Amino acid sequence: MYRKVVIGALAAMILMFSTTAFAQGTAADAQAMLAKAVAAVKADKTKALDMFNKGEGGFVKGDIYPFCFNAGDGVTVANPNAKRLLGTDVRTLTDPTGNAYGLKLYAAAQKPEGQITAVDYQFQRAGGNNTNPVPKESFVTRVGDLGCGVGYYKY
Q: Taking the CB of residue 14, how many other CB atoms lie within 10 A of it?
A: 10
Q: Rounded CA gap, 64 and 59, in Å?
A: 8
Are 127 and 119 spatial neighbours (Cβ–Cβ below 8 Å)?
no
Contacts of 124 (CB under 8 A, 6+ apart): 81, 82, 130, 131, 132, 133, 134
Q: Rounded CA gap, 28 and 36, in Å?
A: 12
Please give the pLDDT value at position 127. Answer: 60
Are 121 and 95 spatial neighbours (Cβ–Cβ below 8 Å)?
yes
> Over the stretch 88-135, which tens digit does the pLDDT of each residue have?
999 999 999 999 999 999 999 999 999 999 999 998 876 655 678 899
Chain-centroid distance, C-alpha 78: 10
Q: Rounded CA gap, 9 and 139, in Å?
A: 40
Q: Which of 2-16, 44-58, 126-140 has the highest mean pLDDT?
A: 44-58
Strand-by-strand arrangement of the 146-153 sheet: 76-78, 66-70, 146-153, 133-143, 117-124
To which CATH superfamily is domain 24-153 assigned? PAS domain (3.30.450.20)
> Over the stretch 19-47, which tens digit does the pLDDT of each residue have?
334 468 899 999 999 999 999 999 999 99
Q: Which of 1-5, 14-18, 32-36 has the highest mean pLDDT?
A: 32-36
Domain boundaries, the chain: 24-153
CA distances from 18 to 29, 81, 94, 124 (A): 19, 18, 31, 19
Q: For the whole model, what pTM was predicted?
A: 0.82
